[in-house]
Amino acid sequence: MTRSTRPARPMPMPEPPGGGLRGVLALGGTALPLYAFLARLPAALCPIGTLLLINERDGIGDAGTVAAALWLGQALGGPVIGRLADRRGHRPVLLLACAANAAALLALVTAVLGGLPLAVRMALAVAAGLTVPQIGPLARARWARLAGADKKLLGSALSFDTTLDEVGFMVGPALAGILAVTVHPASALLLAAALILVFGTLFAVHPTVPGPTLAAPGARAGVRLWSPGLVVLFAMAVLQGAAWSGANTGVNALAESLGAPGTAGLVWAAMAVTSSIAGFVTVARPGSADLTVRLRWTIAVQAVLTLPLLAVSGPAGAALALAGIGLAVAPHLIALFGLVERTGPAERMGEAMTVVGSGLILGQAVAAAAAGPLAAAYGHRAAFAVACAAAVASAVLALSAVPAATRTATPPAPSPVPRAASPDRPRSRR
C-alpha cells in the first residue's frame, strides 16, 4: 500500500508593516522614537536655556551674543557631522559628538557662573553648537533606510519624526522657563547635557543604527551631494527658519512692550501645539497627494496665515495668529524633508538631512539679527513683517522653482546597506 503525499503547504510570510503610526513603530521598535525624542530635546532646551542663564547674570546683550554664537556653531557643525556619519557610520560619530557636546555645555555653564570673559563664553558656545549630535536629521536618515523602497511607510516615518521635532520645540522652551524659575537658571543647560549624554548614547547604540554608506559595497564613488532640487530645498529651509525667527522676535518685543515678558513663551507655544496636532494627523492620514504638491500648498497656506501677524496688538491675538500658522508648519516640514530624502543621494543622506536642518538654523540666526534691531526701532510689527516677507518668499520659491527642480533631480540610488530588522520583530521577507 503506497502512502499518498500531499504537497507541503507553504508557510505564510510575515506581512510587511503598513503605513501609519502602527507601521512606523513596527519598523523601528518603540524604543527608537523615545530615544530620538529625548536626545533631540536639548536642541530646544539650549538656546532658551542660554538666554535665560546669561540674561539673569549679565543682561540681554551678552545673552543674545552668546546665543547667536551657539546658533552659528550648530549651523556650521551640522553638515560636518552628517558627512562624518555617512563616511564612518552613525554610531562612532554620535557617541563622540554626544560626549563632546555634554562636556561643552558643562564648560559653558561653568564659564558663565564663574564670570569668565565674554570671548571665552562665546568660544564655548560655538563649541557647543559645533558638537550638537544632529539627532533629528540623522533620525530622519535612519528612518529612510529602515523603510527602504516602501514609500507609504517612509512617508509615515518621516511625518512621525518631524512631528517629534515639533513636540520637542513645544516642550523644550516651556521646560527651560519652568526650570529657570523653580530650580536655577543653569538647570536647563545641565538637563540638556544629561539628556544628550544618556539618550544620545542609547540612540547611537540602538540596533537600527546604520553603518557607513559612502564606504559600503556598491556605493557610488564620488557621488555629488548638491543638485538643483537640494539647493531649492535648502533655500526654503533658510526662509522657513527666518519666518520662525521673525515671528518669535515679534512676540518677544510685543510682550516686552506690554510689560509682560514672561508671556512670550506661552504665546509662542500656541504654534507648537497646533503644529504637533497637524503633524500627528498627517501621520495618521498622509493622503495621496505628491510631495511636491503638498510642499507647494502647505507653504502657500502658511504664507497666507502669517499675514494676520501684522494686525496683532496683544498676546491673545498673537497666540491666535500663531496657532493658525502652526496648522501648516508640520505638514510643510514633513513634505520638505520627504523631498530631501527623494532628492539627496542615498549614500550621503545623513549629510543631506543635516544640511537642510542647518538651513533652518541659519535662517533663524540671520532673521534674528535683522528683526531684533527693527523691532527695537519700529516696534513688534516690524519683526512680524520679516516673518511675513520670508514666508511669502518661500511660497513664491516653492511655486516657481520646486516643480522644475524635483523633475530634474537625479533619483537617489537604492541604499547599499540592507534594511535593518526591528529588534521587536523578525525581519520580513519580501
Q: What is the DSSP string of 97-117?
A: HHHHHHHHHHHHHHHHHTT--
Same domain? For 296 and 339 the reply is yes
Torsion of CA 175, 177, 179, 184, to 10 degrees: 150
The pLDDT tens digits for 310-328 are: 999 899 999 999 999 999 9
Are 236 and 288 contained in the same domain?
yes
pLDDT of 426: 36
Helix or strand or coil: residue 429?
coil
Is 186 part of any domain? yes
* Residues 35 and 98 reside in one and the same domain: yes
Would you say residue 379 lies in a domain?
A: yes
Q: Is position 325 within any domain?
A: yes
At 235, is the pLDDT very low, low, confident or very high (cuts 50, 70, 90)? Answer: very high
Asked if 90 contacts 213 with a C-beta cutoff of 8 angstroms, the reply is: no
| Whether residues 123 and 270 fall in one domain | no
- 201 and 241 inside one domain: no
Report the candidate in 281, 427, 369, 274 with the shortest Cα–Cα distance to residue 75: 369
Q: What is the distance in angstroms between the CA of the first residue and the CA of the last residue of the chain? A: 41
Q: In this predicted model, what pLDDT tens digit does every residue of 101-136 receive, in sequence order?
A: 999 999 999 999 999 999 999 999 999 999 999 998
Whether 10 is in a domain gets the answer: no
Domain membership of residue 15 (yes or no) is no
For all residues of the chain together, what is the average pLDDT?
82
Is there a single domain that holds both residue 70 and residue 201? yes
On the CB side of 380, CA atoms within 13 Å amount to: 22
Is 44 domain-assigned? yes
C-alpha cell of 2?
503506497
pLDDT-derived band of residue 100, with 50, 70 and 90 as boundaries? very high
List Cα–Cα distances, 63 to 58, 66, 115, in angstroms: 7, 5, 13
Same domain, 148 and 202: yes
For the chain, the farthest-separated pair of C-alpha atoms sits apart, in whole angstroms, at: 103
Same domain for 172 and 306, yes or no, is no
The one-letter amino acid code at 119 reads A
Last residue of a domain, one of 213, 247, 279: 213
The answer to the question of residue 72 being in a domain is yes
> Among 185, 213, 241, where does a domain finish?
213
User: Which comes out higher in pLDDT, residue 286 or 180?
Assistant: 180
pLDDT at position 206 is 94
Q: How far apart are CA 131 and CA 111, in angstroms?
A: 18
Instruction: Reduce the DSSP state of residue 269 to 3 states and report it.
Output: helix
Please check whether residues 282 and 404 belong to one and the same domain. Answer: yes
- Does residue 321 fall inside a structural domain? yes
Number of domains in the chain: 2
> Which residues neighbour 8 within 8 Å (Cβ) at sequence distance 6 or greater?
none
Give the pLDDT confidence score for residue 3 in this predicted structure. 44
The answer to whether 203 touches 90, Cβ cutoff 8 Å, is: no
C-alpha cell at 394: 518661500
The answer on pLDDT for 15 being more than 50 is no
Domain final position from 191, 213, 235: 213
Same domain, 235 and 185: no
Domain holding 373, by residue range, is 224-412
Asked if residue 94 lies in contact with residue 138, where contact means CB atoms within 8 angstroms, the answer is yes
* Percent of the chain scoring above 90 in pLDDT: 35
Judgement on whether residues 209 and 230 belong to the same structural domain of the protein: no
* Residue range 276-311, pLDDT digits in tens: 888 888 877 776 668 888 899 999 999 999 999 999
Percent of the chain with pLDDT over 70: 85
Based on C-alpha coordinates, what's the Rg of the chain? 22
Same domain, 171 and 263: no
Q: CATH no. for residue 334?
A: 1.20.1250.20
Residue 252 clears pLDDT 70, i.e. is over it: yes
DSSP symbols for 37-101 = HHHHHHHHHHHHHHHHHHHHHH-HHHHHHHHHHHHHHHHHHHHHHHHHHHHH-HHHHHHHHHHHH
Using CA of residue 333, residue 339, residue 344, residue 347, what is the dihedral sign?
A: positive
- The predicted model scores a pTM of 0.78
